[in-house]
Amino acid sequence: MQAVFAHQFLHDETIQQGEKKLLTSVDHFYTLYFHLLTFLPALKRFIAQKQEKQKRKFFPSKENLNPNTKFIENAVILQLENNNQLNASQEKYDWLWKDQKDLFLNIMQDLYQKDFVQEYMNKPTRSYTEDKKFVLRLIRNFLVENTLLHWFLGEKNVYWADDFNDAFLVYHKTLEIFSANQDENYPIAKSLQTENMEDDLNFCIELYRKTIINSTFYDTLIEARLKNWEHERTVLMDRVLMRMAICEFLNFPSIPIKASLNEYIELAKFYSSPKSSLFVNGVLDNVLIDLKEQQLIVKTGRGLKIS
């Protein structure tokens, strides 16, 4: 979507140049995702080292000698730390967190002030379910909103500033399917396996290319259903999303119409104007009527035939 939107303004950019930028952006996104997977283990190691250092004080307090280890013993964080797939890529992805004592110290101090963290740390009982619930809440209610972490990542890579929220969403979804019985060989990033990755990239490029090449035709279909809306008054992002949706309707037989429709309505809610989702939904519903009447939509597979 962002690549198609950008191409609209870069009149001297060829489709091939746009594709190259798109693939570069995708690669940077997955790199950020892997860095996020290694963040909590790195934070855990920093806290563990700090606790050990406190024990070696000349006059350690009772709290220094018996620190609360619930965070560093969190079962989900340990699964991340011991995962073979992440460890095999440690040199490539774990470098980001090395020698970042100031970053971790500030994040740790801020973290321990949160009520939900205090509640978790002080609860006498523990279970895998509670550990997982805590980590997911930590991502949603602390890490995503942490301005220091956001700034740090944005400074490291210009692509990451825009990818921050989406990468955390994928990170959260990855941990949602973690279970207590998975071992260190669990394929933590299933979507990044070679075969699936190649399919995803092919889909990405085909959608980008066909949306741009056929944009004039898609605009004709859209304008026929705009009613009182003038071409110039249509929000450009709405138009980009509708072009992409129509492209999926016509060129991707295995994707259900409802799935495409719901996806672009959600994108309109997030990336466009407040009323865009209703507008995009209404126009696309009417465009679908025209496409079905012209018998231009062909869907294959069980449950995908057009009635």
- 148-192, pLDDT tens digit by residue? 999 999 998 888 888 888 899 889 989 999 999 999 998 886 544
Whole-model pTM: value is: 0.72
Residue the block writes with tokens 């996104």? 29
Q: Which of 25-39, 188-202, 283-297 is least confident?
A: 188-202
The sign one gets for the Cα dihedral 275, 18, 35, 184 is positive
The sign one gets for the Cα dihedral 50, 52, 56, 59 is positive
Determine the topology of domain 214-293 in CATH. N-utilizing Substance Protein B Homolog; Chain A (1.10.940)
pLDDT digits (tens, 9 = 90+) for 46-100: 999 999 998 888 888 888 888 889 999 999 999 999 998 888 876 676 678 988 9
Separation between Cα atoms, residue 253 and residue 306, nearest integer Å: 11
In this predicted structure, what is the pLDDT of residue 274?
80
Q: How far is CA 259 from the centre of its chain?
A: 18
pLDDT digits (tens, 9 = 90+) for 263-275: 999 889 888 888 8
In this structure, are residues 246 and 287 in contact, taking their beta carbons and an 8 Å threshold?
yes
Whether the pLDDT of residue 304 is over 60: the answer is no
**Could you tell me how many residues make up the chain?**
307
260 band by pLDDT with thresholds 50, 70 and 90 = very high
Which residue stretches of the chain are H helix?
A: 2-9, 15-37, 39-55, 62-65, 75-82, 84-88, 90-93, 101-111, 115-122, 128-138, 147-156, 160-176, 194-213, 215-223, 236-251, 257-271, 276-293
- The helix (run of H) or strand (run of E) holding residue 112 is none
Whether the pLDDT of residue 28 is over 60: the answer is yes
Whether the pLDDT of residue 202 is over 70: the answer is yes
Whether the pLDDT of residue 232 is over 80: the answer is no
Separation between Cα atoms, residue 198 and residue 194, nearest integer Å: 6
The sign one gets for the Cα dihedral 255, 260, 263, 264 is positive
Q: Which of 32-36, 91-95, 162-166, 223-227 is least confident?
A: 91-95
**What residue ranges do the domains of the chain occupy?**
14-189, 214-293
Phi and psi, residue 26, nearest 5° = -60, -45
DSSP-derived letter for residue 302 is T
Separation between Cα atoms, residue 152 and residue 102, nearest integer Å: 11
In this predicted structure, what is the pLDDT of residue 258?
92
DSSP labels, 58-81: SS--HHHHS---TTTT-HHHHHHH
Q: What percent of the chain has pLDDT over 70?
A: 91
Mean pLDDT along residues 282-302: 86
The mean of the pLDDT values for the chain is: 87
